[in-house]
């Protein structure tokens, strides 16, 4: 059962659309808590890859998600007590996360953990199903998109800046495959939530997108 008096802003959208950056900045501006739900799936994926769990062993995958020992400290993400902020951004981890996120057992295993991030004074949550499944009663729902070309370019820059090797063509193909997987899965497919505001950031800076979200939130009144 959702707590009615703690405001939530959900920002859903496809991979590399910029929703994480926007959500973090909106949370910072409002003094709200922040949930990167995608990080939970990436953490599960990293744990699964390290332990050699087969991607067709649904029971073991769900168990890995259910017993995830993680915490967030500012921009840093920890698995047990190891800082894995960079490790979970590797493409192999992202692709694995997208595959296991299609499993309803894994999504159910992470459901309660995601709800636990809703604390006073409020929460900004980004992901694929924040507004449709996890926080359907959110005060503001945003569906944030960008063209595949813009997203591939952003992801390329992110990876190069962090010291990973990358190829634009491969990234574009991976993004299209992930989009298809995320939108066609039977459990919590990627789609705009009912009543969501649409925001295409292909030709926007992160700060412009943040100001638009804050404007929508302010217009709702508190």
Residue list for the binding site for ATP: 13-21
Task: Could you list the residues known to form a binding site, using ranges.
Answer: 13-21
Q: HSE (CB half, 13 Å, CA atoms) of 116?
A: 9
Q: What are the distances in angstroms from CA 175 to CA 14, 138, 149, 183, 187?
A: 8, 28, 10, 12, 19
Q: Residue 120: name the closest of 1, 26, 6, 2 by CA.
A: 6
Q: What are the distances in angstroms from CA 69 to CA 24, 66, 80?
A: 22, 9, 5
The b-or-e profile of 49-64 (16+ CB within 10 A means b, else e) is beeebeeeeeeebbeb
CA dihedral of 37, 164, 200, 149, whole degrees rounded to 10: -140
Pull the structure tokens for residue 181: 């997987």
């Amino acid at each position: 059962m959702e707590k009615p008096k703690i405001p939530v802003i959900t920002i859903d959208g496809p991979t590399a659309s910029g929703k994480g950056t926007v959500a973090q900045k909106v949370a910072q501006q409002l003094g709200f808590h922040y949930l990167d739900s995608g990080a939970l799936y990436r953490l599960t994926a990293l744990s699964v890859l390290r332990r050699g769990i087969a991607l067709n062993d649904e029971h073991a995958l769900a168990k890995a998600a259910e017993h995830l020992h993680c915490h967030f400290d500012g921009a840093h993400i920890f698995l047990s007590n190891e800082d894995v902020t960079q490790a979970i951004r590797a493409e192999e981890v992202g692709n694995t996360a997208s595959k296991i996120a299609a499993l309803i057992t894994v999504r159910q295993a992470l459901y309660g953990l995601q709800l636990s991030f809703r604390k006073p004074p409020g929460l900004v949550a980004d992901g694929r199903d924040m507004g449709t499944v996890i926080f359907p009663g959110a005060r503001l729902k945003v569906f944030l998109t960008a063209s595949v070309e813009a997203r591939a370019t952003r992801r390329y820059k992110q990876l190069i800046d962090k010291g990973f090797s990358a190829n634009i063509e491969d990234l574009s193909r991976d993004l299209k495959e992930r989009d298809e997987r995320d939108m066609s899965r039977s459990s919590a497919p990627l789609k705009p939530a009912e009543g969501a505001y649409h925001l295409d950031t292909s030709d926007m800076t992160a700060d412009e997108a943040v100001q638009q979200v804050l404007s929508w939130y302010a217009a709702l009144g508190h």
